[in-house]
Structure 1
Amino acid sequence: MRGHIAKKGEKYYIVVDFDRDDNGGKRKQKWFSGYNRKKDAEKAMPDILSKLNNGTLIEPSKKTFGELMETWLDDKKTSVKYGTWTSYNWLVHRHIIPHLGKKKLTKLKPQDFHDFYHKTLLKTLAVGSIRKAHVIIMDALNRAVTWGDVSVNVASTVTLPKGKKMIFEVLDEHQLKLFLDAALNDQYYLAFELATSTGMRQSEILGTSWKDTDLKTKTISVRTAYTLDEEGYTLDDTKSDGSVRPIALFEDTVRLLTSEKEIRAKVIANNEFYKDSGLVVQTSVGTPVGPRLLMRHFYRILNQIRKEHPTFPKIRFHDLRHTHATLLLKAGVHPKIVQERLGHSSINITLDTYSHVLPNLQEAVLRGIGDSILGTRKEVAISTETPTLLN
């Protein structure tokens, strides 16, 4: 294997001649890059020859960034939940490919991604969504490194824009009672009560079966979720392994579930057209409840409340989960317990999400300990002697 410098037009190239034995008896040449100066080509040639010899040379890829992202999306479709994949698909086709897709992989620079995050996405997306786009891009470029398309992930050094955390609404104790009282006669009251008393996700509530509900031990085991796939909604595994968890139930929730189970048994026995799906929350004919149907009932209840209480918070269904966690933390429940009930993969997620509640918790804890770290309370001595006046 030998190398020499050749000029073509205004550029200089490194030309490598392979020995016939190295290439199965056939003569072969490879041309590398175009250098503006001959001395730049001469300087780069030893490194290229060395990498060719030991097999570590990564040749410039002809792929565009858009082609990489399409391949990445296809691969991801078989390794993540369909709902998660659709959010990836939206970010890739709505934002990433339209702005960066035509660039060659080898031409990408850190500044391309810096400008994309700070000047393009920040105008239209929340910081959380920009972080998600960055995670997608990082994973795709890391694969490109593994596949030998590029030698380095140029997005790894980019600093993401900072912004305010998403502010969610939670109900206080009085507002929560208003909501539950208004929902009491609704067909799906049980779903709303479970959301506020267990902190379960909507998909988990709609996917919970009676076989995973133990009224003797007063627990629900979260194992399945009613989630979206390519053919519609279906029962599937939970969001992640960390989402599989037991949740202890309040006494009121146990009584409600016991009553519902007894009523359900009578309906099944007396209605031959009832198609029991075995789920705790189901329609009047026994089939699973779709999220859209549940949301119609949810917003009907909220509209009913606002007619009498116009200042009632405009919450989402997911805010019932936030309400559950916030009220537990305010009541002094340890964040680790809250993490386990919510199914967060790490206590850091819980602490970060509900950090606005924690300062009040610190004050309450310190009051409980005492006047010092030793836990003692000092009595202030009040003197009964008449003070001496100095002239």
Structure 2
Amino acid sequence: MAKLPNGVTQRKDGLYVGRFQYQGIRYNVTDQDMKKCADKLEKMKYEIKNGIYCKESVVTVNSWFRTWIDEYKKPTVKENTIDTYEIIYKKHIKKPLGSRKIKEVRPEMIQRLYNSMKKHDLSKSTIQTTGTILHSMFQQAYKNEMIQKNPVSMATIPKMKNKKESRVMTLEEQKLFMEYAKDSEIADICELFLSTGLRSGELRGLDWETDIDFKNKVIHVTGTLCHSGETGWRKDEPKTRTSKRDIPMLGNVERLLKRVRRQQMEKKLYMGDKWQPVKGFENLVFLEESGLPMYQSSLKTKVDKIQRAIIKDGHVFEWITPHTFRHTFATRCIENGIPPQVLKGILGHSTLSMTMDLYAHVLPDTKAKELQKIANLF
């Protein structure tokens, strides 16, 4: 007969029981298999001694979310992902489910949440992220044997309408916007957007010392500027492995950056003590008037101001966001014959299919033109 592990005994009915005591409280686990029982016991000891064990009969969704975030997610995902999870949980999960005990949550409650989010016209990505959070939370609770089943697995995200095509400025709209932006504080930012296809966080996070290489005429994309109330400013690792990339510095971009550099140095001298950058972010290419990093919301506000001026003057101009510049850049590249594989590298897409999705809405406009090449053969 195999020797029983420390702390494990076997009852007359064959069931194995693991027991131990910690700070005056007794704990036990059971299993039909001796090794599994011993593994459960060691796992429970670890969780209790490290403060991550929750007695399933009392733990709420709110308290488990906190444990799940702090102990299981923070060590494994980027801070930006943690920020997203915190926001989604607070806005969409906390009120309907937070006060419930995790053992009480049933599939229909999850389904009701999904359906309500769809009814309120929330985006497909928001609902999917909500589902990702819930599934991972409850799956970990299941692994910890706090619940018998994962209720999220038995709910279904509602069928959503096809995602609306990304807004892209026509060449005429692009010229109109840049005409109105030329005297604004973000004129250089907008030109750089339209000349590189950078994401907003990538552009706002550009650093003179690490990212701007005038000698080799290259922009090194090394990360994304992020901000949260909990951690403040930080520069995250690139979104994906392929997001870390080098972009050739066009002539207009080189002239723009040298002008921005000169103006920034002059402003810094002029401002004196009023120039108050954030430590570690003193060398960002684009800073606010006082030397602070630029918030995403601040950039959007400045873009919105230009659009309002355009519309006020009677022009028809569909609303854009800072991300529109990236799609517009990609569209200009496609229209001018840049191959998909090359564009994939410039944009930092992780897969070619992401790049081809951009081609999908541009190619219909050029089908007749391209087919004419065949017609010329006859």
In the superposition, the TM-score normalised over structure 2's length comes to 0.73
Residue 335 of structure 1 is matched in structure 2 by 340
Does 2:117 match 1:121?
A: yes
Deviation at 1:176, TM superposition (A): 0.5
Q: 1:149 aligns with which of 132, 146, 149?
A: 146
Unaligned runs of 5+ in 1: 4-15, 25-29, 33-47, 372-376, 380-391
Q: Deviations over 1:183-226 (max 9, x none)?
A: 11222311111122212122222221222112343321111333
Residue 237 of structure 1 is matched in structure 2 by 236
**3-state SS of the aligned residue for 2:160?**
coil
Q: Deviations over 1:113-133 (max 9, x none)?
A: 33432x322112222211110
Bigger Cα displacement from structure 2, 242-251 vs 172-181: 242-251
Q: CA, structure 1 residues 266+106, in 2 after alignment: closer, same or farther (shift >3 Å)?
A: closer
Q: 1:132 aligns with which of 126, 129, 133?
A: 129
Residue 49 of structure 2 is matched in structure 1 by none
Instruction: For 2:70, give the aligned amino acid.
Output: D
Residue 36 of structure 1 is matched in structure 2 by none
Bigger Cα displacement from structure 2, 58-67 vs 156-165: 58-67
**3-state SS of the aligned residue for 1:144?**
helix
Q: How does 1:116-265 map to 2 (within 5 A)?
A: 116-117=113-114, 119-124=115-120, 125-150=122-147, 152-164=149-161, 165-211=163-209, 212-230=211-229, 233-242=232-241, 243-264=243-264
CA distance in 2, matches of 1:150, 1:293: 44
Q: CA, structure 1 residues 50+292, in 2 after alignment: closer, same or farther (shift >3 Å)?
A: closer
Native 8 Å contact 2:194 2:325 kept in 1: yes
CA distance in 2, matches of 1:285, 1:112: 49
Native 8 Å contact 1:233 1:290 kept in 2: no
CA distance in 1, matches of 2:95, 2:289: 46
Bigger Cα displacement from structure 2, 242-251 vs 271-280: 271-280
CA distance in 2, matches of 1:241, 1:184: 33
Deviation at 1:297, TM superposition (A): 2.9
CA distance in 2, matches of 1:90, 1:265: 37
Native 8 Å contact 1:204 1:238 kept in 2: no
Instruction: For 2:236, give the aligned amino acid.
Output: D
Over alpha carbons, which structure has the higher Rg? 1
Instruction: For 1:347, give the aligned amino acid.
Output: L
Identity between Structure 1 and Structure 2 (%): 26
Deviation at 1:333, TM superposition (A): 2.3
CA distance in 1, matches of 2:174, 2:327: 12
**3-state SS of the aligned residue for 1:217?**
coil
Q: CA, structure 1 residues 135+246, in 2 after alignment: closer, same or farther (shift >3 Å)?
A: same
CA distance in 2, matches of 1:360, 1:74: 50
Q: CA, structure 1 residues 64+354, in 2 after alignment: closer, same or farther (shift >3 Å)?
A: farther
Q: How does 1:45-60 map to 2 (within 5 A)?
A: 50-51=32-33, 55=37
**3-state SS of the aligned residue for 1:300?**
helix
Residue 68 of structure 1 is matched in structure 2 by 64
Residue 6 of structure 2 is matched in structure 1 by none
In the superposition, the TM-score normalised over structure 1's length comes to 0.71
Higher helix share: 2
Unaligned runs of 5+ in 2: 1-10, 21-26, 45-54
Q: CA, structure 1 residues 180+154, in 2 after alignment: closer, same or farther (shift >3 Å)?
A: same
Residue 4 of structure 2 is matched in structure 1 by none
Bigger Cα displacement from structure 2, 255-264 vs 269-278: 269-278
Instruction: For 1:288, give the aligned amino acid.
Output: P
Native 8 Å contact 1:227 1:235 kept in 2: yes
